[in-house]
Amino acid sequence: MLLDVNAIQKILPHRYPFLLIDGIEEMERWKRIVGIKNVTINEHFFQGHFPGKPIMPGVLIIESMAQTGGLLLLQEIPDREKKLLYFVAIDNARFRRPVVPGDQLKLEMNVVAWRGSFCKLEGRATVNGEMAAEATLMCKMVDLETEMPPTAQPAEKAQ
């Protein structure tokens, strides 16, 4: 394992319950990354999706892919703690098999293009070599300070 969850948290801003990758197995700078997500029955979303037939929501599989790709991109940014990656498009998303507790998702992301603050990645999520999902994801890197609203100042006490 190249990066464990502790190393991932030093790069990605996501935290429980929304950090959806557990490790990085392979990484080729600027080009490719392979991550893993261990899917367990303890995931918060299984309480309601679906009782008696737990299936990982497709949108969270796509988010796992995005976080894996985002880690590859942020790895290259020196001031990454001041940056965020926003989705700008998801194309050709296809879901081929359900992902259930006990599965290990292998998340393979490849950089197709990276120009300025925009990046396009193609990805696949597999379980035991079987395609679970695939999609083309596009994201934009933004400055955290210009994207976050100013913090509210406490109101003065009434006299």
Marked catalytic residue, from 36, 49, 74, 84:
49
- Residues, the chain, total? 159
DSSP string, 93-140: EEE-S---TT-EEEEEEEEEEEETTEEEEEEEEEETTEEEEEEEEEEE
Structural contact between residues 64 and 20, judged by C-beta atoms closer than 8 angstroms: yes
Tokens matching residue 142:
């933004």
Structural contact between residues 111 and 33, judged by C-beta atoms closer than 8 angstroms: no
**Phi, psi angles (nearest 5°) of residue 15:** -140, 170
Q: How far is it, in rounded angstroms, from Cα 67 to Cα 128?
A: 21
44 tagged catalytic: no
Nearest Cα neighbor of 109 from 85, 128, 137 is 137
* Residues catalogued as catalytic: 49
